[in-house]
Amino acid sequence: MSGLTVRHRRTTALDGVDLDFGTGVHGLLGPNGAGKTSLIRVLATVARPTGGRVELFGGDLTAPRTLRDARRRLGYLPQDFGYYPGFTVREFVAYVAWLKEMPADTTPAAVERAVARVGLADRIDAKIRTLSGGMVRRVGIAQAVVNAPQLLLLDEPTAGLDPEQRVEFRSLLRELGEEATVIVSTHLVEDVAAACTDVTLIERGRVAYRGTPQSLAALGRDGDESDGNTTERGYTAALRAHRTHLTGGGQA
């Protein structure tokens, strides 16, 4: 993306963002309202940019053919995803596969594989309304990966997951990132540190920092060790440096 701008009425959510993502697991960090969800929504093709250019899979996202092709090749889990509580897990994930125009002969096996990857194989025929909040979130992850997407977009995917499930999810992310582009928006710095190959920090619609989790942690090594881990302190240090830069009249 180049010069990506998104405005909501009088609010600028993204302000001329230049970024590119390739194979691997990419973490998006930033405070509430920073613009992370707006970025994810544009890449998921559910929101249109106000300005700038976005290219997915080698095509301009404004082209109808690119748009349809991209929707077949990506997976998306929003913060609050819609589902039919009367559907079973199998039925819902199969429905999403149909929406993505997956071949009918490969869909049943793909559904079972996706559900197994999120640890719900034993609940595949349970009604979604009978599941716990954490299980429903895992159903959301399953529908996002059912088509083996080349671009996987996850907005706060670990919300509602317990610590053991989060560890398993990080392992799944690393596995998926070996062949696909995975972009994870999260407030949980430890998830980024454990699973991501690089991290982008968004602040007030601009890129405040970009680097590896290790380089972000390095920014926090001189802080008070009782005040969170080094990656969390590095996150805070990067934010403060960006704000100081803007206050001094520069641009990030």
> Letter for the amino acid at 37?
T
In a domain, 17, yes or no: yes
Helix (H, G, I), strand (E, B) or coil at 77: strand
Structure tokens at 45: 């093709």
In a domain, 235, yes or no: no
* pLDDT score at 101: 93
Distance, CA of 98 to chain centre: 22
Structure tokens at 5: 């701008």
Helix axes 89-99, 133-145, angle to 10 degrees: 30
In a domain, 121, yes or no: yes
* pLDDT score at 226: 57
3-state helix, strand, coil in the chain (%, to 5): 40, 20, 35
Residue 145 is part of a domain; what is its CATH number? 3.40.50.300
Helix (H, G, I), strand (E, B) or coil at 161: coil
In a domain, 230, yes or no: no
Question: Taking phi first (over 0 means left), then psi (-120 to 50 degrees means alpha), and beta for anything else, what does residue 71 get?
Answer: alpha
What is the mean pLDDT of each successive set of 10 residues along the chain, which is 252 residues long? Answer: 93 94 94 92 93 92 85 92 94 96 96 95 97 92 96 90 87 91 89 89 94 91 68 90 77 48
pTM check: above 0.75: yes
Helical spans, DSSP H, in the chain: 36-43, 64-73, 89-99, 107-117, 133-145, 163-176, 189-195, 213-218, 230-247
CB atoms near residue 143 (< 10 Å): 27
- Total of domains in the chain: 1
In a domain, 244, yes or no: no
In a domain, 226, yes or no: no
Q: Which domain holds residue 142?
A: 2-208
Distance, CA of 242 to chain centre: 23
In a domain, 46, yes or no: yes
In a domain, 37, yes or no: yes
